[in-house]
Chain A
């Protein structure tokens, strides 16, 4: 079973990202769960969302405390909170940043770090506003590229089904991110 945690700020679309990613996995025949941090959300405040993926029915229904993989929508969170809390060794960390993986100071044993400029891609496709670009669809392209767990075609299909506003632009953002992710 895969357990993934998404970090973002309220309003960036982290919770929607968890649903799109879950949907993409489901289209490939997987059983999924996607859920937000249980509680109330505030715009701008750190937000987390979670995904479980398995080949069979998922019985466990508690929260995820020790994820294997991380998706980080917001580079400023790296200095604001401990994004690696509970993170298992050896997983993927996919981060929205202009920096290269080796320029980041993240110390988790054997983690494979991938970076992608999801903000730049979102701005290029005019997703959200220039002050608050919506980066959730772009980063999923980066996740597909870095991990290989899910096909980019499934991500694109899930975006087209699940995103009501600018589905084509969002899908293209994911593809652009897929093609520009650095490991």
Chain B
């Protein structure tokens, strides 16, 4: 039987790991860690979860231990946030180059200094070029479901890449809401045990990640890019099967009232969820507006983005992140996706909600107003007090 719970986003990640039968959890337990691994460590201690919990001395080590566990053939899980993710950076590349299907939760928090614990996507978007698949969730149910989907995709031999599941600090991480947990027997039918072709095994020795010169390194990078491209169909299949078994539907993107829309807002995570209310209100007034939520940021869903946006007149991108010297990171991706279209919409880049500042219905309403009455620009700031 599936079970109804009211749980916070952090625990949705923990339960997702439990339902996915993770075998090794390596984590650094101090700030900026969250309740994700706190609950998992309790479950490992009381025997509810049959997994090895490795307490390490830093996030760099947490990822290193996850890499070792995954290379040995175990299903590995970890979680972190902001500064902790930054400290992992070197190992994030290693997990990709070694083609290890690790799944990690990241609670989106702004980077220090100044010290901060509030929501912003710059931490995970700073890792976009490492080669991790990235999922940005907009509800706790989606967080939980995404853990199973992530392992299914990551462990597919066409992909063999790690996946990051990303949730907004507080707006999901500390907000409790209805989540349906999947019955373990059904989950086991969806997600089979991890059984890699090659693993660290003293009885069957292989070399992993040895010195590779210019004669072959490029081919390995080519294969990573190919795996990312191939992952699009693997994700579609995994999410289709998920829908057939559990009834909940996920895409690479989530379009909302985009049909016949003149103006489409593009954003990620909880800001997209709040935007639905604004879209509904504007539609009631007869305005042709829609929303395109980016769920998978890597691989970037170019085809879907073009399909939904190319016939609109205006595209508004709302970024809760900043690449200083450039602008919103999602904005850059969306703009480049549309560059070769023969007829292009005007595109507006807005920055809002940095450092956890609330993105309210009012904020999003103002953004639509501004785009209606102004010319496009690469960077426009919402609600800045300067």
Instruction: List B contacts of A18 (CB < 8 A).
Output: 176
**Cα-based distance from A40 to B361 in the complex (angstroms):** 25
Please, which residue of chain B has its CB at the minimum distance from the CB of A52? B177
Instruction: List A contacts of B177 (CB < 8 A).
Output: 22, 31-34, 58
Interface check B336, CB cutoff 8 A: no
Instruction: List B contacts of A63 (CB < 8 A).
Output: 358, 360
Instruction: List A contacts of B84 (CB < 8 A).
Output: none
- Give which listed residue, B168, B176, B273, B277, contacts A19 with CB less than 8 A: B176
- State how many angstroms separate the Cβ of B292 from the closest Cβ of chain A: 15
Known: A19-B6, A38-B118, A38-B356. A59 touches B277 (CB 8 A): yes
- Tell me how many residues of A have a C-beta within 8 Å of chain B: 21
Instruction: List A contacts of B118 (CB < 8 A).
Output: 38-39
Indicate if the CB atoms of B359 and A62 lie closer than 8 Å. yes
Chain A 32-61 interface mask (CB, 8 Å, partner B; 1/0):
111110111000000000000000001111
Known: A26-B6, A61-B270, A61-B274. A34 touches B117 (CB 8 A): no
Indicate if the CB atoms of B274 and A60 lie closer than 8 Å. yes
Interface check A143, CB cutoff 8 A: no
Indicate if the CB atoms of A34 and B361 lie closer than 8 Å. no
Instruction: List A contacts of B360 (CB < 8 A).
Output: 62-63, 65
Which of B117, B174, B178, B274 is the most central at the interface, judged by chain A CB atoms within 10 Å of its CB?
B178
Please, which residue of chain B has its CB at the minimum distance from the CB of A19? B176
Indicate if the CB atoms of B117 and A40 lie closer than 8 Å. yes
**Cα-based distance from A55 to B177 in the complex (angstroms):** 13
**Cα-based distance from A65 to B363 in the complex (angstroms):** 14
Indicate if the CB atoms of B178 and A32 lie closer than 8 Å. yes
Instruction: List A contacts of B175 (CB < 8 A).
Output: 33-35, 61
Indicate if the CB atoms of B178 and A59 lie closer than 8 Å. no
Residues 115-159 of A at the B interface (beta carbon under 8 Å): none
Interface check A23, CB cutoff 8 A: yes
Interface check B170, CB cutoff 8 A: yes
Please, which residue of chain A has its CB at the minimum distance from the CB of B169? A38
Instruction: List B contacts of A65 (CB < 8 A).
Output: 360
Please, which residue of chain B has its CB at the minimum distance from the CB of A33? B177
Instruction: List B contacts of A22 (CB < 8 A).
Output: 6, 176-177
Indicate if the CB atoms of B361 and A62 lie closer than 8 Å. yes
Instruction: List A contacts of B277 (CB < 8 A).
Output: 59-60
Indicate if the CB atoms of B358 and A62 lie closer than 8 Å. yes
Interface check B276, CB cutoff 8 A: yes
Which of B138, B169, B177, B274 is the most central at the interface, judged by chain A CB atoms within 10 Å of its CB?
B177
Instruction: List B contacts of A58 (CB < 8 A).
Output: 177
Known: A19-B176, A61-B273. A35 touches B6 (CB 8 A): no
Please, which residue of chain B has its CB at the minimum distance from the CB of A40? B117
Indicate if the CB atoms of B361 and A26 lie closer than 8 Å. no
Please, which residue of chain B has its CB at the minimum distance from the CB of A36? B174
- Give which listed residue, A35, A39, A59, A61, contacts B176 with CB less than 8 A: A35
**Cα-based distance from A23 to B270 in the complex (angstroms):** 22
Interface check B136, CB cutoff 8 A: no
Please, which residue of chain B has its CB at the minimum distance from the CB of A51? B176
Instruction: List A contacts of B361 (CB < 8 A).
Output: 60, 62
Interface check B171, CB cutoff 8 A: yes
Instruction: List A contacts of B6 (CB < 8 A).
Output: 19, 22-23, 26, 32, 34
Chain B 267-296 interface mask (CB, 8 Å, partner A; 1/0):
000110110110000000000000000000
**Cα-based distance from A40 to B178 in the complex (angstroms):** 24
Indicate if the CB atoms of A38 and B174 lie closer than 8 Å. yes
- State how many angstroms separate the Cβ of A157 from the closest Cβ of chain B: 12
**Cα-based distance from A35 to B171 in the complex (angstroms):** 8
Which 7 A-B residue pairs are closest in the complex by CB-CB distance?
A38-B170, A61-B270, A35-B175, A59-B276, A62-B360, A34-B176, A23-B6
Instruction: List 30 interface pairs A-B (beta carbons < 8 Å), by A numbering.
Output: A18-B176, A19-B6, A22-B177, A26-B6, A31-B177, A32-B6, A32-B176, A32-B177, A32-B178, A33-B176, A34-B176, A34-B177, A35-B175, A36-B174, A38-B118, A38-B169, A39-B118, A40-B117, A59-B273, A59-B274, A59-B276, A59-B277, A60-B273, A61-B171, A61-B172, A61-B175, A61-B270, A61-B274, A62-B360, A63-B358
User: What residues make up the interface of A, taking CB atoms closer than 8 Å to B?
Assistant: 18-19, 22-23, 26, 31-36, 38-40, 58-63, 65
A39-B117, A60-B274, A61-B175 known, 10 other contacts, Cβ within 8 Å: A22-B176, A31-B178, A33-B177, A34-B176, A59-B277, A60-B273, A61-B138, A61-B271, A62-B171, A62-B361
